[in-house]
Structure 1
Amino acid sequence: MNGTKVGTGNDVWLVKGTIGARDPVGLVFGYLDDFAACLDIANGLMLQFPSASYYCEYADQ
């Protein structure tokens, strides 16, 4: 994101975790609570794809 925030909240990356790698696959923004929305998406993906690992992190890190 290079320090550019979308909207007024903290933008959040949806990250697919793999062994030894970190792959941002989506940017969550525009929700009242972007982090909670990201966690909902991550949990839904892990229910659909049990062998996958997803997590969320703030984009300004």
Structure 2
Amino acid sequence: MEEEVSYTVISQADRGPVATVVPGVIDALALARQRESDAQITIAAADGWILTIEELEELAKT
């Protein structure tokens, strides 16, 4: 069984960056969508990749 990668969703809000670590791609996608209207979003995977919301959506489909 493949181990799931954790993700850090970083919001660049007016009050400063806020980073939240979530256990999987579905959680990361939900959080990024929730925060994208208020701030610029950066998504970092635990394996070192920096992803866009669109790339995260593709991962969620697999």
Indicate the RMSD between aligned Cα atoms, in angstroms: 2.2
How far off is 1:55 after superposition?
3.0
* Larger Cα-atom Rg: 1
Measured in 2, the distance between the counterparts of 1:36 and 1:55 equals 16
CA distance 1:24–1:11, change in 2 (3 Å): farther
**Larger relative CO (CA 8 A, sep 6+): 1 or 2?**
1
- With structure 1 as the length reference, what TM-score do the two structures score? 0.51
Structure 1 residue runs of 4 or more that deviate by more than 2 Å after TM superposition? none
Unpaired runs of 5+ in structure 1? 1-7
Corresponding pairs, count:
43
* Matched-pair identity in %: 14
Q: Is 1:11 paired with 2:6?
A: yes
- With structure 2 as the length reference, what TM-score do the two structures score? 0.51
Match of 2:32 among 29, 42, 52: 42
Which protein is richer in helix relative to its size? 2
Unpaired runs of 5+ in structure 2? 49-62
